[in-house]
Amino acid sequence: MHATSEAEAEAVAMLRIIESAYGIEIANKREIINAITEITEDRQAILTVFTALNTWVAMNLGSLLARGRDTVEIPAEVVSKIAEKVMQMP
């Protein structure tokens, strides 16, 4: 499945919110967008995935910033697991 520009735009907006909230730059944005939009293009599902991802970032911010830089990389396996779990929800 190739993501629509609407699904991609939604994902980009959500990543910008996370970056802004924590004062970080996410280095692997394209990888995250692709991982999520390959699984779903549903707006509500994308929002749910990013809500969970935001929580994960909040809980792991210290270790993400441990290198002393504001640019972080969110592990692809974390994004995939979150997206898969969301899609299994009733």
Q: CA-to-CA distance for 68 and 46, rounded, in angstroms?
A: 30
Q: What total of structural domains would you count in the chain?
A: 1
Model pTM score: 0.88
Q: CA-to-CA distance for 29 and 38, rounded, in angstroms?
A: 14
Could you tell me the two tokens for 81?
């697991």
| DSSP notation for 62-85 | HHHTTTS-SEE---HHHHHHHHHH
Taking only the tens place, the pLDDT of each residue in 23-66 is 999 999 999 999 999 999 999 999 999 999 999 999 999 888 88
Taking only the tens place, the pLDDT of each residue in 74-89 is 999 999 999 999 999 8
Print the domain residue range for 54: 5-88
Amino acid, single-letter form, for residue 15: L
